[in-house]
Structure 1
Amino acid sequence: MDPERLADASRPRSRATVLHADADSFFAAVEQRDKPSLRGRPVLVGGTGPRGVVSTASYEARRAGAHSAMAMGRARRLVPAAAVLFPRFEAYGAYSRMIMAELATLSELVEPVSIDEAFVDLEAGPYAEDPATAAADVRARIRERTGLAVSIGLGRTKLIAKLASDAGKPDGLLVVDPADEDAFLLPLPARAVPGIGPATMAALERLDVRTVGDLRRQPLDVLTMTIGESSGTNLFRLARGIDERPVAISGERKSVGSERTFAEDIFGTETVAAAIDSVADEALRRLHAHGGGARTVVAKVRFADFTTVTRSVTLPQPSAEPAELRAAAQQAARAAGITSSVRLLGVSFHNLSTHAQLTLAWDEDQVGAPVVVPVPDVPAGPRLLDEANGRPGLDVEHPVLGRGWLVHVRAREATVRFETVDSPPARSQVVDLDAEPLTLVAPLVAEMTATDRTD
């Protein structure tokens, strides 16, 4: 493909009217919002057992070095004072719907990317002439309605809008006008560009590419020879700010996944199995960002001679359990008949089910039945709390003391903070479950009131 044609691709927008909104540290922020005693404190959301993984770290925890995808044990050592909580997807889904409803007031074209982020095309709404005011107003309304901070970026394209919201975090608004695009884009680290993962970045570093400016200086043929025609062409475009993807209303996403092309072909049962797990873990992170589970797992294998084979495994029901999905990816890869060197491996999840009942085992060593996350609009029936089903952070109710959240449960004693989004912070209390049974209940999600806004 002619590089001059790529570089001269049409840039139809003359204004920064693509908006990208991203809720800051979303899961942890919801927990701090709903649990008054955690406001301003470090919070880690994710697997709570010895092999758990951090899903989201609050900014207080990030300052101490914790981050998503980190082993929970390591995060706890870095932030010993952090509250470690099990995810409550019902609550996150409710807050997400409030955020998306406010974004929908700006335009008919809203494209959710995950549970906590979306693109909005302001050209398709009443705010095309003043996008910055629209962005500031919607940030304020989201804060007023939910109590959550949302960072927003405005740009001429999805690429610039997304990078701008990232640069504006936390709780920021950054407008990148077309005239300022290169000044904003070129100094950014190349790793910030969508599509550049660890393997691609390693290949680019061999070309002495560190920033987007370095990437732009690479000839098209060098990029395509280094990372493949499709990826090389895409990065050639993105380094020049060329992103022709429209903001589009879409139905349920059909699949999520990840692929990795190896710098050198790999071979051997153990080596390939380890690589499948690594690729599957990246696909799992994307599935988690999507906010649901999958029923079908597809493995893609490209051999050294460029022969490509795909095989799939379909589960009895949708699952978001990492161990189950990794095992299915390994099974699908074995079905591909890997008997020679491998150039590329991919793992993708299909038949996604955001609103179905999903088994979510965040800890590989959990004992007993998997935790069931109910359909957001259909509350689960009450269940008595015990050591088997108790997870830190889950909502509980006492017949006299009212609602609260579980700190931990050991044997027949539960430690609980009886507080809600509308109450003052509460001290921990120990409850004898034999004398005073507690009930696990669905999250109580309320929009902010005038008194909340002073917090």
Structure 2
Amino acid sequence: MRTRATVLHADADSFFAAVEQRDKPSLRGRPVLVGGTGPRGVVSTASYEARRAGARSAMSMSRARRLSPAAAVLFPRFEAYSAYSRVIMAELGTLSELVEPLSIDEAFVDLEAGPFADDPAGAATEVRARIRERTGLAVSIGIGRTKLVAKLASDAGKPDGLLVVEPADEDGFLLPLPVRAVPGIGPATAAALERLDVRTVADLRRQPLDILTMTVGESSGVNLFRLARGIDPRPVAPSGERKSVGAERTFAQDIFGTDLIAAAVDRVTDEALRRLTAHGGGARTVVAKVRFADFTTLTRSVTLPQPSAEPAELRAAAHQAARAAGISDSVRLLGVSFHNLSAHAQLTLPWDSEETVPVAVDEPADGPAMLGLLTEQNARPGLDIEHESLGRGWVVHVRGRQATVRFESVDTPPARSQVLDLDADPLLLVPPLPRTLDG
């Protein structure tokens, strides 16, 4: 392992919510919840204002709204988040050629592979300032000798912080931490460790290897034994090709019946196919995910003889995988994903020009709205709209033909809500403004 703290972990603070506050001036300083807006929606991100009221990511949206009743609840705008992410990753790329994105809003950087190995703190300070200047967003950074320490340091530095843990200070930093802070320790593992009276990393370090392997299994036990001692030899490895693309949908009400479930599989597959097309190439393995009303979750897969980009073939495989899950009860969630992606895939040209008509599902899809005229059916709170004379803004809510909107953007003053009659004042759903990245 390396002898100095040159692994950097960067994590944008409350990323989705922060982008929304950046693009919507009237929400700055206010609690914001981003996620599913239906009755079974889940919080993707809660702003720090909402977190102070007890809301958090992965919580049901209904509970988060009860905890933070003043919060603005917004539908995710992934196009906007991706644009901000590209700027953040580009700035991190100025530090080193070895950047390993973990998700849309966090990454590891190996400073040994760049010109800043002798001054990690200075490099981190400068890149945080440049990211804030270009995006208006706060990024917390942790630096350590290993990925483990760097990740824990960035968590400890939140929000909007920078923490460098030198090798000599690792034990003083690691040992007092709660064991749940260690990446990979979830509720089940934490409960098993609790039975050993293990609550902190110091408690974990005192456990013999054989006790850990008997408690959580061979692989996990060895891993925890190493992590408790700060041993983490994983290199910073720039990610290669994306491993899968897909889509899933939680229904407002459980669905039941062969025809309705088949129609729902079609709708989810349509969205997964759109994402596969955007990615390019084809896939060899199709996976269906089914969650039943009792929260039991099953996944089944179908592997084709060779990679395919043919929609009909991939759709048939999705239905086959869903049927293999043995759907005989009410379904709460359906997902379809494509794996074993390949840039070289078989595409069968159609013999005629007939188009298949997609089967409609009664429940509104909890997915990205299509661009076009705003209606009650395609409206989602937070989506971007444009008026012929009033300019750009965003949707607050739509009821019938009455739309409540705010005409503001990243570089305007905060705006008050206005109610428009969509018959007299039609509004267009539009993509996010790319100039939100000008700083």
TM-score normalised by the chain length of structure 2: 0.76
Q: Percent identity?
A: 78
Please list every run of 5 or more consecutive structure 2 residues that lacks an aligned counterpart in the other structure: 246-278, 290-298, 311-318, 328-334, 342-360
Distance 2:337 2:228 in 1: 29
Question: Which of residues 142, 148, 152 is equivalent to 1:153?
Answer: 142
> One-letter code of the match for 1:296?
V
Distance 1:311 1:393, change over 3 A: closer
Query: In the alignment, which of 30, 34, 42 is matched to residue 31 of structure 2?
Result: 42
Structure 1: segments with no counterpart, 5+ residues: 1-10, 257-291, 300-309, 319-326, 336-346, 354-364, 374-379
CA drift of 1:328 comes to 9.6
Alignment-derived partner of residue 367 in structure 1: 363
Amino acid at match of 1:351: H
**Take 1:212 and 1:70, find their aligned partners in 2: how far apart are those partners?**
26
Name the residue aligned to 2:254: none
- Say whether 1:132 aligns with 2:128: no
| Partner of residue 191, structure 2 | 202
**1:207-234 Cα deviation digits (max 9, x unpaired):** 1100011001000011111111000001
Deviation at 1:372, TM superposition (A): 3.8
1:393 corresponds to: 382
Within 1, Cα distance between the matches of 2:324 and 2:166?
Answer: 47
RMSD: 3.0
Per-residue deviation, residues 109-140 of structure 1 (Å, max 9, x unmatched): 00000000000000000001111100111001
Residue 232 (str. 1) matches residue 221 (str. 2) = yes
Distance between the aligned counterparts of 1:371 and 1:144, measured in 2?
32
CA distance in 1 between partners of 2:337 and 2:150 (Å): 27
In 2, Cα distance between the equivalents of 1:328 and 1:222? 44
Q: Which amino acid aligns with 1:239?
A: A
1:46-70 deviations in whole A, cap 9, x for unaligned?
Answer: 0112211111000000000000111
Of 403, 424, 428, which residue of structure 2 is paired with 1:435? 424
Deviating 4+ runs (over 6 angstroms): 314-318, 327-330
Equivalent position SS for 1:404:
strand
Counterparts of residues 46-61 of structure 1 (less than 5 Å): 46-61=35-50
The match for 2:80 among 91, 96, 105 is 91
1:314-365 Cα shifts (integer Å, max 9, x gaps): 79999xxxxxxxx999866659xxxxxxxxxxx9966288xxxxxxxxxxx9
Answering whether residue 286 of structure 2 is matched by residue 296 of structure 1, we say yes
Alignment partner, residue 265 of structure 1: none
- 2:29 corresponds to 1:33: no
Distance 1:441 1:348 in 2: 27
Please show how residues 329-408 of structure 1 align to structure 2 within 5 Å: 351=339, 367-368=363-364, 371-372=367-368, 382-408=371-397
1:343 aligns with: none
For 2:367, give the aligned amino acid.
V
Contact 1:298 1:311 in 2 (8 A): yes
In structure 2, relative to structure 1, the CA distance for the partners of 1:80 and 1:103 (3 Å cut) is same
* Partners of 1:192 and 1:33 in 2: CA distance: 29
Q: 3-state DSSP class of the match of 2:156?
A: helix
The two structures have a TM-score, normalised by structure 1, of 0.73
Going from structure 1 to structure 2, the CA distance change for 1:93 and 1:132 (only over 3 Å counts) comes to same
User: How many pairs are equivalent?
Assistant: 359
The 3 A distance-change label for structure 1 pair 45 and 185 is same
Q: 1:367 is paired with a residue of what secondary structure?
A: coil
Aligned pair partner of 1:144 in 118, 122, 133: 133
Structure 2 counterpart SS, 1:226:
helix
- SS of equivalent to 1:446: helix
- Given the alignment of the two structures, is residue 417 of structure 1 paired with residue 402 of structure 2, yes or no? no
